[in-house]
A = this chain, B = another copy of it.
Amino acid sequence: MTMTPAVRAILANYESDNPGTRANLARMLMQGRLGGTGKMVILPVDQGFEHGPARSFAVNPAGYDPHYHFQLAIDAGLSAYAAPLGMLEAGAATFAGQIPTILKVNSSNSWATGVNQALTGGVDDALRLGCSAIGFTIYPGADDCFDMMEEIKEMSAEAKSVGLATVIWSYPRGGKLSKEGELALDVGAYAAHMAALLGAHIIKVKLPSDHIEQKDAKKAYEGFDSSTQAKRVAHVVQSCFNGRRIVVFSGGATKGADAVYQDARDIRDGGGNGSIIGRNSFQRPRDEALALLDKIVRIYLGQE
């Protein structure tokens, strides 16, 4: 891999990290068709834990096989593949060294009675499976949010000490937040900022709406132009240490391909680092998925 100026500039922002962590960030940033551009597309398959297998895979039954997803991410030329413990264990040897992996170390499920997740993997697991990073979800706003933050504080410190990177999924939820508020611009920017403050190397948030949820924040957004999604993305990027941290956006529920493409263009134009695309890829037939991912990659390459 010949390091590019774009990636070099990103890595320089991780100035407190050891070379091991930087190497793992570099691996993801230099992987696949976006390698060297500073952009990333990540395939996450934690849907089975969250929604159950049928809701996740029945529409494209090949997805019941963990190998399918490794191969999809590799064939699409993506940057990394993220999944819970069992999913990685089922393919990590076969695909060792072919694509960077992210071990999702906490997971929720549809029957959970609280707004929280269970720890379902560890840093040791990530090392033995050859992962480049751990992934962790926090629910800012939830009653258990402090507990989740304390869990990632411990795990992130451990990951950093052994040269792994940390990806935080920051999803506002629970507590006093309204349903509309979960996607509000101010809330999304705040959630991304909290992940950055917690020491995340890569921050994953949802694309925000132009709603402002918090009364106290309204004044700060007066005069702020949030009319386009690209501008809202730019504000989230700004909230992640003015771009000193990698931010990727999730696509949400399965939707039309055109909407997915527009999201990618907006992320690109707003200065975001890329997309995490799960259901919108593995819930399509493989050919369609590859076509969709090809187009997204070309968008980030500035070719679309």
Contacts and interface: CB of A to CB of B under 8 A. Distances in A.
Contacts of A200: 86
A52 B16 contact: no
The residue in A24, A52, A153 that gathers the most chain B C-beta atoms within 10 A of its C-beta is A52
B190 A53 contact: yes
B197 A86 contact: yes
A90 interface: yes
A54 B214 CA distance: 11
How many chain copies does the complex carry? 5
The residue in A20, A25, A61, A235 that gathers the most chain B C-beta atoms within 10 A of its C-beta is A20
A47 to B, nearest CB: 10
A54 B161 CA distance: 32
Given A54-B221, A58-B221, A120-B198, 4 more contacts: A15-B89, A24-B97, A65-B244, A119-B153
A3 B118 CA distance: 34
B24 A130 contact: yes
Interface residues of A, number: 113
A89 B7 CA distance: 19
A141 B29 CA distance: 38
Contacts of A19: 15-16, 88, 92-93, 96, 128-130
Q: Across the A-B interface, give the 8 residue pairs with the lowest CB-CB distance, nearest first.
A: A26-B97, A23-B130, A19-B92, A118-B146, A52-B190, A20-B130, A118-B149, A15-B93
